[in-house]
Amino acid sequence: MRIGIICALEKEISLLRDYFVVEVEHRCGSIVITEASMFSNRLFLTISGIGKTCAAIATQALISEMHCDIILNTGLAGGCALGLHPGSAVLASGAVYHDYHANEFNAIDERHVFISNSRLNNLATDILKSQGFDYSIGIVASGDTFVMDNNLKEDIVRRTGCLCVDMELAAIAHVAFLNSIPYFSLKIISDSADEEAVTDFFFSLDTYSTYCSNFIYLLVRELSY
């Protein structure tokens, strides 16, 4: 299997290079993709950069240039639901845009949910349970905004029903959908998408990025059996 792994930030993916047998780097325009192996799987790791456009370009490169069969995503996100706290996990059942507004000419609208792959979600659930992880399953809402305002957060939740917000997943899921490629995402909560979000995010970055890498390693290991 050819597995594409995409994260927005170096911190969220760097440990994976230590877990896997790195073989070669590919360049697709400005996108750098590290090819590695684990058992029978070929792995293609890339850092998209922040935001929807960067995420879409990197995802398409994994699919078109590296011919990936599935796309895995992980990274930090702002928690929107009661009971989520830094270090909690959100297993994405689907992804939506929170900054996309429909009109009669659009093929999708802001309520359109890009559903994640059920088999990958089931494997992930088993891993989370076995690790004793505090996790929830629900919608991730994405937009080109770092949410750090309670009023904005409440508006996004009202419109999308999301558990958390990020800046990339809906674009990754949208590109995967258009290419008929299954995707999966696990988000680790770094902050509460409120007025303290920036401080909390940077405080959480090192620790919770490790959670992201460890989880993806365990998931890829399960996919290798």
Determine whether domain 2-223 maps to CATH 3.40.50.1580: yes
For the chain, what are the domain ranges? 2-223
Mean pLDDT score of the chain: 92
Three-class HEC string of the chain: CEEEEEECCHHHHCCHHHHCEEEEEEEECCEEEEEEEECCEEEEEEECCCCHHHHHHHHHHHHHCCCCCEEEEEEEEEECCCCCCCCCEEEEEEEEECCCCCCCCCCCCCCCCEECCHHHHHHHHHHHHHCCCCEEEEEEEECCCCCCCHHHHHHHHHHHCCCEEECCHHHHHHHHHHCCCCEEEEEEEEECCCCCHHHHHHHHHHHHHHHHHHHHHHHHHHHCC
Is the per-residue pLDDT at 103 higher than 70?
no
pLDDT, one tens digit per residue, over 51-63 is 999 999 999 999 9
Q: Tell me: the pLDDT tens digits for 70-102?
A: 999 999 999 999 889 999 999 999 999 999 765
The pLDDT value recorded for residue 55 is 97
Residue 80 identity? C
Q: Which residue has the higher pLDDT, 196 or 110?
A: 196
The per-residue pLDDT for 111 is 53
Structure confidence by residue, pLDDT tens digits, 147-186 = 999 999 999 999 999 999 999 999 999 999 999 999 999 9
Residues in the chain: 225
The reported pLDDT for the residue numbered 8 is 94
User: The whole model's pTM is what?
Assistant: 0.93
Assign residue 137 a region: left if phi > 0, alpha if psi is -120 to 50, beta otherwise? Answer: beta
Q: Return the closest-CA partner of residue 196 out of 136, 129, 125, 147.
A: 147
Four-residue CA torsion sign, 27, 28, 29, 34: negative
In the chain, the percentage of residues whose pLDDT exceeds 90 is 80
